[in-house]
């Protein structure tokens, strides 16, 4: 006979959703969490659970900065548990906290625990947009704000340099690699993702706590439109998590003995059977492969074994930040479309993604589902980070025949199964094949650039950018009929100091079309003409890069002794930075950094030992004037005009104008 004081059960779940008409009426995250906990207490059918808590765990939140959110929450509820924690970040966190609470009960260390989390991101975003300070707890300074564990993950310099830190940019690496390993074309894989996501959407439509209840079909989900724009290849907006929600959820875990003492009805009680957890290496560039996750595999296989087989799971919640996660999980579990639905909640796109606490809502939905189907088993699988952390929990209304295992880690199995990790290189000039890839898109739906993870002939791993104007390479990455994995190309350092991948044979400067400049050679003289007369020869990043490569070539050519730079037309040498392009690029989220060698490839080029002459034939303003100042000699026509107008628009002439013109 098992001691009921050591049997962990879930007795109550609660959720809160806030849809205010204006941010001034919105509830802050802690207030929403208090509502969820009170709802969980009411759900348990006992009015005394919160006062009996031994522990209160608050899942890491992002939408508002607090100094001590769990302390504030306890104060609002009028409770003071012996242990109060501001718990970690990560999508698996609610499942881990439920499991940890159950283990503590099984050890006799506590009798009642509450797990709560959520966000008010939608209201916070609206308040910021409308420049309204909501009537919430005063926001803590960055120095005073609580620091939740797992707020950051280790990341290698190549990923940092290319800004590849958004999960929406990282999960596609797994998607593209996995679909290629499964023998699918990108189009076939996209159809599978859309059909799977439609199943999630249907469940969300019947969930009263879901944020989106329109239940779009697979065709709508998979078709790219202005409203369903591409985010990162191959995922459009309706295939990525939706954090713009105000949602909180709470779960009450107690011993079976306390549940009975409190008078919780037997048909409300859900038993915690067991589960498993494991992690991948924290840095996603230091993984063995992107076709699978060994941590996910062993966690789900172990959970299935504990249940007597995956077919014993009549109800499931498979984490759904992006389609590749449940697609991998379904294959590991050996389940098909006709088997149990992958969700009881609705998924992070349609139900909503209160960041780290979606699985808190999933636990609430699972408890309600199991109460409706006594005797069934449910699987809750959560995942956090960049495919980093994996946790599965098995729950059912019937008590298991065994005691709860106090060690749920299967890390040793994951580590033993993991393959060798290739060495990572930050620089490589030579051949490289694509291991996996994605394409980042701007807010206007146009590609910003491609990102490839590649392999050198020696088997080393690298990460490189693909320029958006490299049509041959971008067409390869964006093909729906053929995967780019295995495609051969070459990498080089581009004018911005970024490693760049180009499809096919190594390209020389002559292979690259000149769109923004002209180059003439007269013996040892190189004449460079900025060729954008329609915009007063102003420069944007692509034009700057083209000029930088021209001057790289000039510097390296011993037969070229002197260079002249001038502007096309008779109105301007160069009007400097292309401000219209810059404004549009910033709105798209497109980078606007200058080359390593500076504006036009000259203003930060300090090692050139050949003379450059500026032939100023009109306006030389801002950056255009600074280009001229970077030259060794300026020859100006009678129509030449020089100006540094940056202060009029709140800027400074920091590419040489301030230092060269002082005095």
Do residues 455 and 550 both lie within one domain?
A: no
| pLDDT at residue 633 is higher than 50 | yes
Polymer length in residues for the chain: 663
Q: Are strands 612-616 and 633-636 parallel, antiparallel or unpaired?
A: parallel
CA distance 359 to 320: 10
Average pLDDT, integer, range 533-550: 94
Average pLDDT, integer, range 458-467: 97
Residue 216 inside a domain? The answer is no
305 φ, ψ (degrees, to nearest 5): -65, -40
CA distance 380 to 249: 15
Report if pTM > 0.85: yes
- What is the CA 172 to chain-centroid distance, rounded? 10
The domain in which residue 51 lies consists of 4-156+239-417
Average pLDDT along the chain? 94
Do residues 502 and 523 both lie within one domain?
A: no
- Which pLDDT belongs to residue 332? 97
- Which pLDDT belongs to residue 662? 47
Do residues 134 and 265 both lie within one domain?
A: yes
Residue 356 inside a domain? The answer is yes
- Which pLDDT belongs to residue 414? 98
Do residues 139 and 10 both lie within one domain?
A: yes
Using a CB cutoff of 8 Å and minimum separation of 24, what contacts does 121-124 make? 121/62, 121/63, 121/243, 121/244, 121/245, 121/246, 121/354, 121/355, 122/244, 122/245, 122/246, 123/18, 123/20, 123/23, 123/26, 123/27, 123/63, 123/246, 124/23, 124/63, 124/64
Residue 227 inside a domain? The answer is no
Residue 222 inside a domain? The answer is no
pLDDT top residue among 132 and 119? 119
- Report in angstroms the alpha-carbon separations of 163 from 440, 465, 549, 609: 11, 11, 23, 34
Helices (H), 506-613: 541-556, 579-588
CA distance 330 to 339: 10
Q: Bridge partners of 636?
A: 616
- Report in angstroms the alpha-carbon separations of 600 from 583, 628, 635: 19, 10, 18
Of 367, 383, 417, the residue that ends a domain is 417
Do residues 255 and 338 both lie within one domain?
A: yes
| pLDDT at residue 422 is higher than 90 | yes
Do residues 635 and 518 both lie within one domain?
A: yes
b/e burial code for range 86-96 (CB count within 10 A of at least 16 → b):
bbbbbbbbbbb
Number of domains composing the chain: 3
Do residues 573 and 450 both lie within one domain?
A: no
Joined tokens for residue 51: 């006062």
Using alpha carbons, select from 473, 532, 536, 528 the residue that is nearest to residue 505: 473
Do residues 252 and 270 both lie within one domain?
A: yes
Q: What is the pLDDT of residues 121-168, one digit of tens each?
A: 999 999 999 999 999 999 999 999 999 988 888 999 999 999 999 999
Confidence of residue 663 (pLDDT cuts 50, 70, 90): very low
- Which pLDDT belongs to residue 655? 60
Average pLDDT, integer, range 49-66: 97
CA distance 491 to 456: 9
Residue with tokens 């713009």: 244
Identify whether the C-beta of residue 91 lies closer than 8 Å to the C-beta of residue 148: no
CATH code: domain of residue 443: 2.40.50.840
Average pLDDT, integer, range 45-65: 95
Do residues 617 and 502 both lie within one domain?
A: no
- Report in angstroms the alpha-carbon separations of 379 from 31, 33, 318: 30, 25, 8
Joined tokens for residue 314: 């009549």
Of 383, 417, 451, the residue that ends a domain is 417
| pLDDT at residue 481 is higher than 50 | yes
Do residues 501 and 526 both lie within one domain?
A: no
Average pLDDT, integer, range 219-236: 98
Of 507, 540, 561, the residue that ends a domain is 507
Do residues 352 and 413 both lie within one domain?
A: yes
Residue 277 inside a domain? The answer is yes
Q: What is the pLDDT of residues 542-588, one digit of tens each?
A: 999 999 999 999 999 999 999 999 999 989 999 999 989 988 888 87
Identify whether the C-beta of residue 127 lies closer than 8 Å to the C-beta of residue 98: no
Confidence of residue 657 (pLDDT cuts 50, 70, 90): low
Residue 196 inside a domain? The answer is no
Residue 197 inside a domain? The answer is no
| pLDDT at residue 85 is higher than 50 | yes
CA distance 291 to 288: 9
Using alpha carbons, select from 368, 370, 345, 340 the residue that is nearest to residue 358: 345
Q: Are strands 270-279 and 8-17 parallel, antiparallel or unpaired?
A: antiparallel
- Which pLDDT belongs to residue 645? 75
Do residues 282 and 385 both lie within one domain?
A: yes
Q: Bridge partners of 434?
A: 454
b/e burial code for range 191-214 (CB count within 10 A of at least 16 → b):
ebbbbbbbbbbbbbbebebbbbee
Catalytic residues: 626, 646
- Which pLDDT belongs to residue 589? 76
The sheet that has 619-621: what strands, in order across it?
A: 572-574, 619-621, 641-643
């Amino acid at each position: 006979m098992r001691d009921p004081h050591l049997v962990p059960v879930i007795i109550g779940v609660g959720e809160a959703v806030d849809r205010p008409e204006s941010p001034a009426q919105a509830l802050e995250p802690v207030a929403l969490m208090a509502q969820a906990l009170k709802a969980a207490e009411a759900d348990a059918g006992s009015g005394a659970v919160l006062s009996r808590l031994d522990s209160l765990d608050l899942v890491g939140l992002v939408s508002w900065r607090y100094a001590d959110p769990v302390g504030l929450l306890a104060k609002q509820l009028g409770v003071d548990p012996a242990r109060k924690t501001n718990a970690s970040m990560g999508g698996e966190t609610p499942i881990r906290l439920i499991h940890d609470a159950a283990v503590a009960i099984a050890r006799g260390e506590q009798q009642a625990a509450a797990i709560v989390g959520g966000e008010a991101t939608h209201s916070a975003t609206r308040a910021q947009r409308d420049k309204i300070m909501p009537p919430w707890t005063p926001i803590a300074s960055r120095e005073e704000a609580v620091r939740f564990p797992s707020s950051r993950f280790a990341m290698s310099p190549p990923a940092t340099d290319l800004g590849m830190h958004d999960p929406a940019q990282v999960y596609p690496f797994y998607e593209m690699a996995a679909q290629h390993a499964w023998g699918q074309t990108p189009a076939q894989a996209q159809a599978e993702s859309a059909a799977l996501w439609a199943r999630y959407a249907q469940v969300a439509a019947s969930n009263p706590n879901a944020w989106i209840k329109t239940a779009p079909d697979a065709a709508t989900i998979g078709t790219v439109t202005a409203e369903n724009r591409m985010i990162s290849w191959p995922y459009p907006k309706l295939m990525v998590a939706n954090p713009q929600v105000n949602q909180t959820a709470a779960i009450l875990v107690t011993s079976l003995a306390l549940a009975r003492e409190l008078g919780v009805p037997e048909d409300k009680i859900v038993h915690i059977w067991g589960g498993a957890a494991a992690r991948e290496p924290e840095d996603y560039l230091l993984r063995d492969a992107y076709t699978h996750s060994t941590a996910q595999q062993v966690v789900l296989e172990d959970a299935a074994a504990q249940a007597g087989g995956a077919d014993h799971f009549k109800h499931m919640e498979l984490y759904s930040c992006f389609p590749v996660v449940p697609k991998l999980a379904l294959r590991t579990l050996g389940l098909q479309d006709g088997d149990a639905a992958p969700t009881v909640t609705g998924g992070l796109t349609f139900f909503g993604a209160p960041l780290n606490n979606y699985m808190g809502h999933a636990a609430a939905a699972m408890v309600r589902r199991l109460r409706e189907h006594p005797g069934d088993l449910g699987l809750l699988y959560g995942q956090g980070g960049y495919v980093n952390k994996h946790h599965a929990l098995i729950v059912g209304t019937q008590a298991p025949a065994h005691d709860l295992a106090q060690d749920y880690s299967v890390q040793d199995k994951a580590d033993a199964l993991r393959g060798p990790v290739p060495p990572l290189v930050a620089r490589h000039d030579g051949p490289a094949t694509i291991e996996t890839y994605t394409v980042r898109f701007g807010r206007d739906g146009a590609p910003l650039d491609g990102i490839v993870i590649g392999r050198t002939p020696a088997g080393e791993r690298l990460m490189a950018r693909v320029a958006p104007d490299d049509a041959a390479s971008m067409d390869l990455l964006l093909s729906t009929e053929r995967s780019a994995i295995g495609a051969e190309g070459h990498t080089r350092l581009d004018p911005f100091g970024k490693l760049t991948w180009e499809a096919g044979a190594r390209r020389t400067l002559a292979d690259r079309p000149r769109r923004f400049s002209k180059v003439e050679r007269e013996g040892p003289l190189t004449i460079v003409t900025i060729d954008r007369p329609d915009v007063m020869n102003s420069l944007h990043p692509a034009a700057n890069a083209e000029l930088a490569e021209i001057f790289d070539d000039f510097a390296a050519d011993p037969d070229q002794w002197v260079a002249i730079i001038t502007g096309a037309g008779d109105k301007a040498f160069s009007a400097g930075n292309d401000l219209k392009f810059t404004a549009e690029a910033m709105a798209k989220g497109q980078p606007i950094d200058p080359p390593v060698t500076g504006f036009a490839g000259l203003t930060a080029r300090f090692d050139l030992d050949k003379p450059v002459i500026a032939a100023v034939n009109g306006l030389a303003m801002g950056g255009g004037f600074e280009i001229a100042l970077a030259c060794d000699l300026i020859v100006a026509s009678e129509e030449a005009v020089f100006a540094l107008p940056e202060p009029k628009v709140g800027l400074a002439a920091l590419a040489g104008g301030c230092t060269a013109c002082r005095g």
